[in-house]
């Protein structure tokens, strides 16, 4: 029987402390980090993307961080391809890949795969579906999905219109239920022994951390970073990064700098809410409760206590004699 390679995942909303925890884990386990963040791939915007600081990267090898020009587009398919390449490079070093980040779509693309023959979108159909929802209200589209694809309807929340519309669109374009498309997906869950952890902070604690982070970003030079970026031709992906629109509103004279900062805090909190909602439905991810006074080391200890069934890569001892915890 083949022994599966090990893969660790640390996820959670923005500002939950994922990178700091990953760094603590790297002190005790032979790992290299793969960022699962749709914005950290970009160069020239380290403040906006909160790229891992030099203090971390000089001791923890990182992948898919600050390597792409912000004029280039990026998506889940590209991430999956490059993350898989990084995973195999790390394994060849007899180390364990440590996936760290909060972009749920990217993580799902890696673990569960993407449609290999993803049908084209139909803008007209989408508009028609939206109009019918506006006309009938309530859970009309969800009810329609139940009629053609009860399996998808069971898994998609009645208020998640984006996913409902996509399911109806794919069903219409392919003539097959959206749920049946899973046969065309190929993930890595069967290939690896995967342990995933979600850092779950108290909502107010998380919001306080977000507010503090934005203040720090402004102190570190967020405004100048945005000035420099606006001189470039940003891709659609890079242009959606939180911080650009808010600071541009100040530069355009529409908001005061304080108002721009407050708007960035609000938009970042809303983004964190969406992340929490996404990962609430993510399978195979264990929730790690985090208190506001928990240090990164203490959080890492909680995770390591839950990885005792792991074993170290062949021929490679655990770091600092931590034989009881982690990849055994």
Q: Where are the alpha helices (DSSP H) in the chain?
A: 18-26, 46-49, 54-57, 76-92, 104-112, 123-136, 140-148, 150-155, 161-174, 203-220, 222-229, 236-239, 244-251, 257-279, 296-304
Report how far residue 192's alpha carbon sits from residue 189's, in angstroms, rounded to the nearest whole number.
Answer: 6
Q: Which two tokens stand for residue 35?
A: 């960022």
Nearest to 104 by CA among 36, 51, 169, 54: 36
Q: Which two tokens stand for residue 161?
A: 């219109």
Domains of the chain: 5-114+187-321 (3.40.50.300), 123-184 (1.10.20.140)
Instruction: Give whole-number Cα distances, 46 to 17, 78, 98, in Å.
Output: 17, 21, 21
Instruction: Give whole-number Cα distances, 218 to 119, 129, 204, 328, in Å.
Output: 42, 42, 21, 43
Q: Give the per-residue pLDDT at 310.
A: 55
Give pLDDT tens digits for 219-268.
Answer: 999 999 999 999 999 998 999 999 999 999 999 999 999 999 999 999 99
Report how far residue 119's alpha carbon sits from residue 129's, in angstroms, rounded to the nearest whole number.
Answer: 17
Q: Which two tokens stand for residue 286?
A: 């264990």
Report how far residue 86's alpha carbon sits from residue 33's, in angstroms, rounded to the nearest whole number.
Answer: 9
Nearest to 300 by CA among 269, 283, 325: 325
Q: Give the per-residue pLDDT at 103.
A: 94
Which positions of the chain have pLDDT values less than 70? 1-2, 115-121, 174, 181-185, 309-328
Nearest to 326 by CA among 225, 180, 195: 195
Q: Cα dihedral angle (156, 161, 163, 169), rounded to 10 degrees?
A: 120
Report how far residue 207's alpha carbon sits from residue 198's, in angstroms, rounded to the nearest whole number.
Answer: 17
DSSP structural state of residue 99? E
Mean pLDDT of the chain: 88
For the beta sheet containing 96-100, the strands, ordered from the edge strand earlier in sequence to the opposite edge, are 62-63, 31-35, 96-100, 5-11, 192-201, 285-290
Give pLDDT tens digits for 105-140.
Answer: 899 989 988 765 455 567 778 888 888 888 888 899
Q: Give the per-residue pLDDT at 3.
A: 76
Q: Where are the alpha helices (DSSP H) in 175-314?
A: 203-220, 222-229, 236-239, 244-251, 257-279, 296-304
Q: Give the per-residue pLDDT at 1.
A: 43
Q: Which two tokens stand for residue 8?
A: 């660790």
């Amino acid at each position: 029987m083949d022994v599966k390679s090990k893969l660790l995942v640390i996820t959670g909303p923005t500002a939950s402390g994922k990178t700091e925890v990953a760094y603590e884990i790297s002190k005790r386990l032979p790992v290299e980090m793969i960022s699962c963040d749709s914005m950290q791939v970009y160069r020239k915007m380290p403040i906006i993307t909160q790229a891992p600081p030099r203090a971390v990267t000089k001791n923890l090898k990182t992948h898919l961080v600050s390597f792409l020009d912000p004029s280039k587009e990026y998506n889940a398919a590209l991430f999956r391809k490059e993350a898989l390449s990084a995973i195999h490079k790390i394994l060849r070093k007899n180390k364990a890949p440590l996936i760290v980040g909060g972009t749920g779509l990217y993580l799902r693309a890696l673990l569960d795969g993407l449609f290999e023959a993803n049908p084209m979108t139909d803008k007209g159909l989408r508009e028609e579906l939206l109009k019918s929802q506006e006309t009938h209200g309530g859970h009309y589209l969800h009810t329609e999905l139940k009629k053609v694809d009860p399996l998808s309807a069971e898994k998609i929340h009645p208020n998640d219109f984006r996913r409902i519309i996509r399911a109806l669109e794919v069903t219409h374009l392919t003539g097959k239920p959206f749920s049946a498309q899973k046969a065309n997906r190929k993930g890595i869950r069967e290939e690896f022994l995967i342990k995933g952890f979600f850092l779950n902070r108290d909502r107010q604690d998380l919001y306080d951390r977000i507010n503090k982070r934005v203040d720090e970003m402004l102190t570190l030079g967020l405004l100048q970073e945005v000035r420099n970026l606006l001189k470039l031709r940003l891709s659609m992906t890079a242009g959606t990064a939180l911080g650009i629109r808010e600071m541009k509103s100040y530069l355009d004279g529409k908001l005061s700098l304080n108002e721009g900062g407050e708007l960035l805090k609000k938009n970042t909190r809303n983004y964190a809410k969406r992340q929490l909602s996404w990962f609430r439905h993510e399978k195979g991810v264990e929730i790690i409760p985090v208190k506001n006074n928990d240090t990164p080391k203490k959080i890492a200890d909680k995770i390591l206590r839950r990885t005792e069934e792991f074993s170290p890569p062949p021929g490679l001892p655990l770091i600092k004699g931590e034989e009881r915890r982690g990849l055994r």
